[in-house]
Amino acid sequence: MQDQDTRPPLFGAHSPTESRIETAVLAGGCFWCLEAVFRELHGVLKVDSGYCGGTPDTADYEQVTTGRADHAEAVRISYDPRQIRYEDLLTVFFSIAHDPTQKDRQGNDRGRQYRSVIFYADESQKTAATAAIEQLTRDQVYKDPIVTEVVAQAPFYPAEAYHNNYAACHPDQPYVAHVAAPKVSKLRRYFAHMLHRAPLS
């Protein structure tokens, strides 16, 4: 999304009323960046980095980063739908977390493991994802076509423990400082009304 001084619109208009905890699985580049962004949102209870789209025998960082496994680096977001909607997560996904017009890459990270994917859990999530892409396309938010895949949720395999909350734990790591941190700063600028009142533990 073009950097601008107005807050990007939210998708959809319904209010959350359900009390159960729900999950969303999203992929769009390095999971360190995705986790850093989504952990900031009020209503998000937990964010797990991991691998989705491939087989269990290839669900490890060493194999996924080769690009030969079919996994995407992904995050599993556990959230309270009374406090944040799935559509709100999609708004942040498309406007802050990554560039959905980049095919099988994000910036200098190249390979199918960095593809843009929404792994939907049910028809409601599928409908929301499709509607969001249609709206962005209709409104010509991006110059290039959106290449985000919308596919049925495959098994999610948690990443190695050292990846958890990586950006917060390693703020001086060059990749975190130059790629993840600017995304978090942009989120705080445009979506201050959606942030945690206290840091997510």
Q: Say how far apart CA 150 and CA 105 lie, in whole Å.
A: 16
Average per-residue pLDDT in the chain? 91
- In the chain, which residues have pLDDT < 50? 1-7, 9, 13-16, 18
At residue 14, the pLDDT reads 45
Residue 169 catalytic? no
Give the pLDDT score at 23.
Answer: 98
**Which of 30, 33, 52, 169 is the catalytic position?**
30
Position 197 scores a pLDDT of 74
Q: Give CA–CA dist 81/21, Å, rounded.
A: 7
| Amino acid 199: pLDDT | 64
Question: What are the backbone dihedrals phi and psi of residue 41, each rounded to the nearest 5 degrees, phi first?
Answer: -85, 130
- Residue 53: what pLDDT? 96
The pTM is what? 0.89
